């Protein structure tokens, strides 16, 4: 089993171009898995992509289009784009100030359990935020990372949506670090009414060092997945 994970930081990159790149890597890993059936010595690759997107709204395959509260003209006026995509979950927003991570893993190199995979991604973020004094947790039946669960002030700080096929993953998580939360007013985030969205800079009262946050996430990801990050 290959536990090496190739880290790539794509910087600020268009959503559709990044999605196409994910699909390319996903197809490559699936092809390696097919060859591995005939030659067990073949190793399958794993990737972890960091990226920041220009303003974009994405809707998961089971999502409700009515959760987007903007017309096509209004989207254009805000400099945002929209894509219906092949991950799980409903609608979400990506944009500047947000840390987006896309692990493309062959889970057969780690464990074959999608539920555990999602919980580990959440845990990597929860442990990271705890280093900043933020007490975050899961909300029953709602994927992602939250503050104030069980109170009238419940708010989501990190959204998650993944796709997995043949035990190969794509898509991932989006952590609001220094994000402009005003863009969430144009959607019903994740299709969940009556719950707010927050960001690290709001909770901490000032901007955070995104590169430092990314390093902390990787540290916890490596520990949880018993992985080795390589550049």
Binding residues for substrate: 87-94, 159-161, 172-174
Kindly name the residue from 162, 190, 197, 218 that is annotated as catalytic: 190
Question: Is 190 marked active-site?
Answer: yes
Chain centroid, CA 111 distance in Å: 19
The sign of the torsion formed by the CA atoms of 84, 163, 125, 64 equals: positive
Sheet holding 91-94, edge to edge: 81-84, 56-59, 91-94
As a whole number of angstroms, the distance between CA 29 and CA 82 comes to 28
Phi-psi region of 192 (alpha: psi -120 to 50; beta: other; left: phi over 0): beta
User: Residues annotated in the binding site, as ranges?
Assistant: 87-94, 159-161, 172-174
As a whole number of angstroms, the distance between CA 34 and CA 18 comes to 25
As a whole number of angstroms, the distance between CA 175 and CA 23 comes to 22
Q: Give the residues across from 228 on adjacent strands.
A: 4
Tokens of 160: 């998650």
Q: Which residues contact 162 (CB under 8 A, 6 or more apart)?
A: 87, 88, 114, 117, 118, 121, 169, 170, 171, 172
Which of the residues are catalytic? 190
């Amino acid at each position: 089993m290959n536990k090496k994970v190739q880290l790539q930081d794509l910087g600020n990159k268009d959503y559709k171009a990044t999605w196409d790149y994910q699909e390319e890597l996903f197809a490559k890993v699936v092809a390696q898995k097919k060859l591995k059936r005939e030659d067990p010595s073949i190793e399958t690759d794993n990737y972890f992509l960091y990226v920041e997107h220009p303003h974009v709204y994405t809707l998961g395959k089971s999502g409700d289009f009515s959760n987007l509260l903007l017309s096509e003209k209004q989207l254009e006026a805000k400099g945002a784009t929209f894509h219906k995509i092949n991950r799980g979950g409903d609608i979400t927003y990506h944009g500047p100030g947000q840390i987006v991570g896309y692990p493309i893993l062959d889970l057969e190199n780690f464990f074959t359990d999608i539920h555990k995979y999602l919980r580990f991604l959440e845990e990597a973020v929860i442990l990271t935020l705890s280093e900043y004094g933020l007490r975050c947790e899961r909300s029953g039946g709602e994927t992602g990372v939250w503050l104030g669960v069980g109170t009238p002030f419940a708010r989501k700080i990190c959204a998650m949506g993944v796709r997995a096929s043949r035990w190969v993953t794509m898509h991932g998580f989006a952590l609001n670090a220094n994000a402009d939360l005003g863009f969430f007013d144009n959607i019903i985030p994740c299709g969940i009414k009556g719950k707010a969205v927050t960001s690290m800079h709001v909770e901490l009262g000032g901007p955070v060092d995104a590169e430092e946050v990314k390093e902390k996430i990787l540290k916890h990801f490596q520990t949880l997945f018993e992985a080795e990050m390589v550049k």
